[in-house]
Amino acid sequence: MDIIVCVKHVPETAEAEIKIDATGKAIEKTGLVFDINEWDDYALEEAVRIKEKFGGTVTAITVGPEDADSTLRKCLARGADKAIRLTDTRFEDSDGYAIAKILQSTIKSLPFDLILTGALAGDDGYTMVGPILAELLGISHATMVKKIELDDGVAKVNRELEGGLEEMVEVKMPMVLTVQTGINEPRYVSIMGIRKAMQKEIKVLGLADIGLSENDVGEAGSWIKIEKMFVPSVEKQAEFLKGTPEEVSAKIAEILRARGLI
Amino acid sequence: MKEIFVLAEHRQGQIRDIAFEMLTKGKELAEKTNMDLTAVLLGKDVKKHAKTLSEYAKKVLLIEDAKLENFNSEAYQKVLSNLIKEHKPLLTMIGHTSFGVDLAPSLAVDLNLPLATDCIDLEFENEALIVTRQMYGGKVNVRAKVRKSKSYIVTVRQATFAAQKPTMNGEIIETPSPLSEEITEKRFIEYVLPPPGGVDITAADVLIGIGRGIKDENNMPMVEELAKAFGGVLACSRPIVDKGWLPSDRQVGTSGKTVKPKVYIALGISGAFQHVLGMKNSDLIIAVNKDPNAPIFSFADYGIVDDLFKVVPALKGKIYELKGQKA
Ligand SMILES: Cc1cc2nc3c(=O)[nH]c(=O)nc-3n(C[C@H](O)[C@H](O)[C@H](O)COP(=O)(O)OP(=O)(O)OC[C@H]3O[C@@H](n4cnc5c(N)ncnc54)[C@H](O)[C@@H]3O)c2cc1C
Ligand SMILES: Nc1ncnc2c1ncn2[C@@H]1O[C@H](COP(=O)(O)O)[C@@H](O)[C@H]1O
């Protein structure tokens, strides 16, 4: 079983203060910590587990700058066999469609039975790269996957629906599955694993190597062009309770007592 | 006349809310741009819904086929791609739901039409489509221009546009299904229900909602004790379930439960819309987060910008003090 996992190197923003940069179209990246996209972490783990069960290879692939090597190294340390980074200044400003084209141009000449992506990327959240990649490759797909059972050329997968419901569907191989969080428990990497991964090669390819033209990638090759980024206006703002933890706790307790909740 | 298509999503015999939300937004867009609003209804035994939808649209395009009974992106893609080629709507709106995200991207590639996903607003500037979407988990919004096209596809975020009362009396047009062959690549097998849970968070008056901010499983007893002090129940955001610290029936949000307790205390939850949709109608919301810009503060009644590890023990102490008990 040859598996390809698409991984994205993204900034961690949940706890960071976000500033919009001088272009007004992107966030200020300096000072932010980058790591593997949360969903891709689960996708990689799933790929490694499938390999451990059925044999084969896992190849991690990313479209991103040189910094993204740290994410690829993490994948190698966790059990990926090969890593590919697609880097070119002309890839900048690519939306999910252009990214999928870049990935497809490379993946189409690799051997694979299964491609895993995350359900979405935590930065731009298009929720589209996986199924677009599948359509470009002419293979089937299933998104929001929470369980995978492989069996002789088909996969039975559980797709997450809303409200806790799931549906089981059968999909033919080869296919693209987009993985939802919680499908497994990603393993920790041992120091040994990281050391070994440092020695593995990361293959780097650019626009000239993948047979696409300048017009296929970047803003020119995208569906979406960002005009302006802004902080969402808040319709309502909480009343902030100020003071020491004891003081705010006393205020909360009083609010709840007044409502008969204590 | 140019049309706007709205795909009417349904599941297990019910039209889903997103369909009416999109029809409401679709109507506004259609009126502004002088277009017709068309609801597209695909399924098996769904005629009864066509009547309902006709009150929201100028036209209802109805196709019945046993192959369309349960959602299957392959079947839906074939039928929709046919309809879009034939009618050439300026815009096709699909819900940004589990169903919509399985369908829209490959449909767009198939038709070579541009797609904008998870839109929270849409407008036309002379037939050019401008969308608003969120990035970085809702911390910023972007206004984006969609590549110029004769026809666009969008997916629309749930619960973004409030559905309005029906005002129309549209025409129902039934056409035969274009699906001749069996669907072979993908097959629906069954719905899988969540395992019956031990605790019903939807029945609790006091919910303590915990998020990734609690950092480590070792901190669970601290919040359990707080819940106990309140006589309340622990609920959580998705990462807590993903990590296995609480069972899935405690999850609040789009892929979990919708709750409406008398008070919801959010501890270390950022306020991603998938979480907020499940709790924003609580009677009272109090949020503790160390990030003053966390989106949760625009849904909370009261906010505390501080370290939850300082606030939680203090709060527990105060509750017991008020109750006249020792912790
Ligand atoms: C299809 C889909 C469905 C989803 N369904 C759901 C769902 O049903 N429910 C759900 O919750 N999510 C759901 N999500 C995930 C959602 O998008 C968010 O990723 C998730 O809600 C984030 O959880 P969080 O707020 O706990 O974590 P984060 O976003 O990581 O936020 C953690 C917060 O804790 C704060 N914090 C950290 N340390 C401290 C401290 N010491 N003191 C105080 N504050 C601190 C940080 O400032 C931050 O705001 C879904 C996602 C997708 C794609
Ligand atoms: N730059 C990228 N390089 C490799 N994979 C990517 C990239 N962007 C997105 N993906 C993959 O596509 C998934 C969905 O991303 P998106 O459609 O942008 O939300 C991610 O979880 C990744 O698996």
Q: Is B108 on the interface with A (CB under 8 A)?
A: yes
pLDDT in tens, B293-324: 899 999 999 999 999 999 999 999 999 998 88
* Within this chain, domains B3-174 and B201-323 share the same CATH topology: yes
Q: Within a domain: residue A124? A: yes
Quote the ligand 1 centre to A14 CA distance (angstroms).
8
- Residues 192-251 on A with a CB inside 8 Å of B are 222-232, 234-241, 244-246, 248-251
A112-139 mean pLDDT: 98
Phi, psi of B225 (to 5 degrees): -65, -40
Q: Which two tokens stand for residue B14?
A: 């019910």
Question: Which of A65-79, B87-101, B186-200 is the least confident region?
Answer: B186-200
What percent of chain A has pLDDT above 90?
90
Q: Is B322 on the interface with A (CB under 8 A)?
A: yes
Nearest to B293 among A17, A20, A127 (CB): A17
Whether residue A1 has pLDDT greater than 90:
yes
Q: Within a domain: residue A224? A: no
Q: Within a domain: residue A203? A: yes
pLDDT value at residue A236: 84
Domain boundaries defined on chain B: 3-174, 201-323
pLDDT value at residue B158: 96
Out of 3.40.50.620, 2.60.40.10, 3.40.309.10, 3.40.50.300, select the CATH number for domain B3-174.
3.40.50.620
Task: Assess contact for A118 and A86: CB atoms under 8 A.
Answer: no
pLDDT value at residue B327: 59
Measured in Å, how far apart are chain B's first and last C-alpha atoms?
A: 71
pLDDT value at residue B142: 98
pLDDT in tens, A194-246: 888 889 999 999 999 999 999 999 999 999 999 999 998 887 899 999 999 99
Mean pLDDT for chain A overall: 96
Cα angle vertex B29, ends B27, B35, to 5°? 80
Whether residue A161 has pLDDT greater than 70:
yes
DSSP assignment letter at A20: B
pLDDT value at residue A178: 98
pLDDT value at residue B326: 62
Q: How many independent structural domains does chain A possess?
A: 1
Mean pLDDT for chain B overall: 96
pLDDT in tens, B43-72: 999 999 999 999 999 999 999 999 999 999
pLDDT value at residue B286: 98
d(CA B96, CA B79): 19
User: Where does the pLDDT of residue A15 fall: very low under 50, low under 70, confident under 90, or very high at 90 and above?
Assistant: confident
Nearest to B263 among A160, A226, A256 (CB): A256
Domain carrying residue A42: 2-216
Q: Which two tokens stand for residue A138?
A: 């002419």
A103-127 mean pLDDT: 97
Ligand 1 probe mutation, A10, A12, A13, A15, most atoms within 8 A of CB: A15
d(CA A79, CA A189): 9
Q: Please state which architecture CATH assigns to domain B201-323.
A: 3-Layer(aba) Sandwich (3.40)
B21-27 mean pLDDT: 98
- Closest by CA to B245, choosing from B287, B270, B212, is B212
Whether residue B276 has pLDDT greater than 80:
yes
d(CA B146, CA B326): 61
Q: Write the CATH number for A36.
A: 3.40.50.620
Q: Where are the beta strands (DSSP E) in chain B?
A: 3-7, 10-11, 14-15, 36-43, 59-64, 91-95, 115-125, 128-135, 140-146, 152-156, 171-174, 186-192, 206-210, 233-236, 263-267, 285-289, 302-305
Q: Report ipTM for this prediction.
A: 0.96
